[in-house]
Amino acid sequence: MTELRFTEEQRDCLQELINVAMGLASDKLARYLNTFVHLQVPAIRLVDTEQLPEHFASRYEQQSVTMISLGFFGDQGLRGETIMLYQLANVDVIAKLLGYSNDDSSEAEMLTDISSVLTTTFLNGLAEQLENSFSYAAPRILSSRDQHFADKLASTAEQWQLALQVDIRYQLTDYSFNCDMILLIPGEAMMRLRLILDQFLASF
């Protein structure tokens, strides 16, 4: 995987692009929930997909988690899959805020809606900066509070070579709302991303 790693300049560039895209997603979420959203600077790193289940299993140990996936396809060879991981400790409060009923089906619908808002806004913001465009598959619920999400994450991640792990923490003014985003990207798409970043850097 060495040849697929980012240079320091590429990583710094990607970090700035992701910061902008996350700011757009945070603003969209704030409008969607009609409340203020505090967004920390997201940390990003390139990892082997086999590392993901153990990392997130320890992070979400003894917590209820839902995973929602959304595939994306770009016009310059960029493609991949996003996975949103949600802690469910305060999901009832968010459901009430948005007017959803308090049952499992409504919970799934709500998190799918939020995933669509966050993921497409983030990816559209990223694509626009790279002078690219993405199309999207329908969101899929991969795991729920009644399933061991680490096993499901492992079976999904093994289909990909690399993961661009983006750690996000959204903090609502009056509510607790935390999630993690994972971008799963195949090797050839990562090579395209490096070339696009180089072109972006050369334009300055």
Tell me, what CATH number does 89's domain have? 3.40.1550.10
pLDDT of 1: 46
pLDDT of 127: 92
The DSSP annotation for 7-66 comes to: PHHHHHHHHHHHHHHHHHHHHHHHHHHTS-EEEPPPEEEEEEGGGHHHHHHHHTTTS-EE
Nearest 5°: phi and psi at 140? Answer: -125, 135
Domain count, the chain: 1
For residue 35, the enclosing domain spans: 2-202
pLDDT (tens digit per residue) in 55-71 = 787 777 767 788 899 99
**pLDDT interval class at 102 (50, 70, 90):** low
